[in-house]
Structure 1
Amino acid sequence: MPNSGSSKPGSKVSDPQHSQKLLRVLRTFWQEQSFHDALLVVDGEELPVQKNILAASSPYIRTKLNYNPPKADGSMYRIELQGVSMAIMKQILDYVFSGEISVSEETIQDMVQASDLLLMTDLKSLCCQFLESCINAENCIGIQLFSLHYCLYHVHYVATEFLQTHFHDVALTEEFRELPPNRLCEVLAMEKLNVGNERHVLEAVVRWFAHDPEDRRVHMKEVMSAVWLQGLDVSYLREQAMGEPLMREVIREYCQAFLEAGQPHGADLLAAFKPRGYSECIVIVGGEDRNTRKPTAEMHCMCPLYDPNRQAWIKLQSMSIARIGHGVVAAEGFLFVMGGTDEQNTVLNSGEKYDPDSNTWSTIPPMLQARQNFGVVELDGLIYVLGGENDVTELITVEVFDPHFSTWKMQTSMTMIRKVGCYASMNKKIYAIGGGSYGKLFDSVECFDPKTQQWTGLCPLKERRFGSVACGVGQELYVFGGVRSQENDNPEQRHMTTCKSEFYHDEMRRWMLLDDQNLCIQTSSSFVYGAVPIGASIYVVGDLDTGTSFDYIREFRRSTGTWHRTKPMLASDLSKTTCAALRIANCRLFRLQLSQGLFRIRV
């Protein structure tokens, strides 16, 4: 028998199903209208509820209860809600007890409004996921406006990106033709509209005008001011001036002065030229200067899909602080840099944000912990910082940054130290891969689900490694480079060798070696700095030893599974840098190239 007089605490035991069992019983009480102690009044209808359940689920109702507590006379407490329908409220109550809710394109707007009123942030996040999945050419403009009204910032960003990318299809929809003049001007003013030729913008304006010519004629001067006339070909305008009546009217009234002046040439053409669209650029930030061996604040970009020579970097505005061992990631149209060490070898917690539209940097709030050599990934508009080390110890902590509210918050820590590991996001989850600690190399992989705030183990890599880079695309996860110790009978004669590239498919649940292993030869002289997905390819940046020379960027084509040369390494290329993919407006790139004497982008 145990000693009843012992003062030692007992061991804790737990039932993992406890919360689910309790919720099922509470749901039964609600369905049977048992043990209710209040009436929820919605649209004049009464619904029996339990105050404590509602208060636990909704901060809004909890505040109402605090400011208007139940009366002591024992009368039934009434909670009156306005702005929510009974049908939506019943669905929300069902969600409270089950964690699941059925939404459709017909009900999503009412559900967002209700979750916003009740301050139910988790339900609002679920609505955001549904809205993102619904975005198409027919509704992206409406979702863009609706999401901004309810502060659904990531949904607004996704809808805006879709509008810019698929403007051709959007301009043919009823939603586009129904736009009020001020909203139409906002759309046409977007520099990143993917139109190829400005005539598509003009034709979209004429279709909008034709939808209601009498009422819209008075707004046409304002609307046409958003069309970049310098991007229109004079011969095209003269041809269209002989066409349909409304097109003739638009050209006669708003393009005549441009036609009489004629197409600009030379310096005048360059000064007026404003190409629409955007380029997905490889951006490298900070690192080490190869000559001085000191940290640098420089930043450059390259457009691999549009620069056929792929030799010239476009210089962008430098950071305010030189950094090495830092993290860089693109999120919500901006580039974020944080942490690392400066020229005095001080480990930093500071961060900066780069705006590609203005080519400027601004500071962001510091991280909760200073760190270097860490992982950083973007997921659903949030930035996650993982692991790394400070000047005292290795870290397993995880922080998340919300770019829209400029706030940092701690998350569930990783389960183990992963010094010089690699990190990526894929399919709404974050993956921590490989790395090492205390002289050991790892092949283990763990996965973090932000919904459950839990880390779970995954199928291990084929090879143990550290110093590799990872990249998630769709349902595929890629790991490139890194090194490991080569097996040898004599431990004293072991040396480091470059690891093979691997990929993981979310449905197959296992790692496989890539068929083409020509990223670099298997020597310890190759180092990888980052992997950037652009289009159907992944571009790996690093000091890549090809056997006869070094490449700085190599392209992996996912469709064929093969490697291709992209850019040889030059003495001016940064060492130990970090990189990311960033969408930059073509007109901004053109101006930068013009000022730097570069003309290799096709616009």
Structure 2
Amino acid sequence: MDVRPKILSGRDRPAFKLPQHTQKAFECLNQMRKDHLLCDVVLVADNIEIPAHKAILSACSQYFYAMFTGEMTESKMDRITLQEIDPKALSLLIDFVYTSEIHVTEDNVQTLLPAANILQLTEVRDACCEFLQAQLHPSNSLGIQDFADIHACTELMHYAQMYTEQHFTETVHYDEYLSLSETQVAKLISSDRLTVTSEEQVFEAVMSWVQHNLMSRQDLIETLMEHVRLPLMSQEYLVQRVEEEPLFKTNSRCKDFLIEAMKYHLLKHEQKITFKTPRTQPRNPIGLPKVLLVIGGQAPKAIRSVECYDFQEERWFQLAEMPTRRCRCGVAVHSSLVYAVGGFNGSLRVRTVEVYDPQKDAWTTCPSMEARRSTLGVAVLNGCIYAVGGFDGSTGLDSAEYFDIRMGEWRMMSPMSTRRSSVGVGIVGGYLFAVGGYDGASRQCLSSVECYNTLRDMWTPVADMSCRRSGAGVGVVDDMLYAVGGHDGPLVRKSVEVYHAEMNTWRQVAEMHLCRRNAGIVSHGGKLYVVGGDDGSSNLGSVEVYDPKTNTWTLLSSSMMTGRSYAGVAVIDKPIL
């Protein structure tokens, strides 16, 4: 008797598939491995023995596939010793083969990556590279670059190299740089892609390396100075620092480099164009992927919000809020950390400083300033953070101070010639410029500008702007200092002017689309970004971009999520979160 059910035609269904089948099978295989069931090979590294299944190893690793399916002697062996592989790394990697999971840490990455390379477990190698890339810091980027080069991780090597070049001024303060060979230093400082605000920083980096081991390195200075672009330094620095350097006075070739630089400064502008040597060529840094941070601000009260604009993806998103409300602060970037300095918390002007770590998306604190300051100007010069002017709650300030990051302390410096709250600052040619602001004593918005020389601890007046500007945005592109918008009493400006330091002159450039004061301003990719601010009646969420090459302004396609004035802004490497 046929008891099979009748199957109706035309009612076929898709094939049955169990999504968890592979995972369950591998869980079972892993347990069999642990129980030494049906294992046909034992892997040996030092004193560790790991039983496994040849078929599983071959399916997950081209290294083992070639070993067990080819003509190699090991294909017939049931016990294989693996040379030059760390035993703990091997154990982790075999666990990964069976579980698809591995935890990369600071303790194991340096043994895990080479082992993964040997066994051709490319996914683990890539995970190690991503981990190291996220760990990049000025103190370790040279070491990571060298490590990546040794193990043929080309993408990580190039990324670490770009990181080092972009963070050159911080990198040179650490032991990895001071321990480089002469050839390695020469290769680094000869790069056109070094990100430096002035060539003086390259000179000081070379002198620091030489002084670190003076007896054995002093004769190498002439070889290194061939790659330092002395003609691009200020004439004052050449005379006061370079010419007075004892190692220069005793080295004829270094003297020749100095003469070349001084001769270059004596040439007229049109002559400089034709006077070309490797040392007169400006550096042209290529940056890592960047994002724009907008920190705190007034909307309409002080806020904690931090927004981020991704230049590649052209979108805004939120980051970790500041621990406290803060507007009218200054913002500085050093060693991949972002410092929010001073400001107003909604009730008090503050001395405090909060520090943002992009890789952790977290805020911490660091030592407070000597004075309470809001609407101050902040800039980074020679590895120090300068805080200039501002308002302490009762009066405008002519005082200024700087934060020595390595020492972790603030120090006072010479005061300016006048009180300046709502002041803008910028760095050009190794000098700090304080632009405009408001003088509470005379109750006037200011057109005056003064320049600070760190070597002399002295402020010097330079040419006035064409009009009074308080709350102007001040930014630097290609060693040109821009004063953007601001106000003179009730009049909010959209005009813009630019300062040429060598000529000591200001000239007008194209106006913005909108009147703005108290906007954030930052340079990126040879352009100037002006963020938010207010027009005298309401806060703005829009961002305008100035291109000096075309003398035109464009509005960014998307505005901030929160319109705000008195925000701090910065451009940083795109964090890996």
Query: TM-score, with normalisation over the residues of structure 2?
Result: 0.50
Q: Which has the higher contact order (CA 8 A, sep 6+)?
A: 1
* TM-score (structure 1 length as normaliser): 0.48
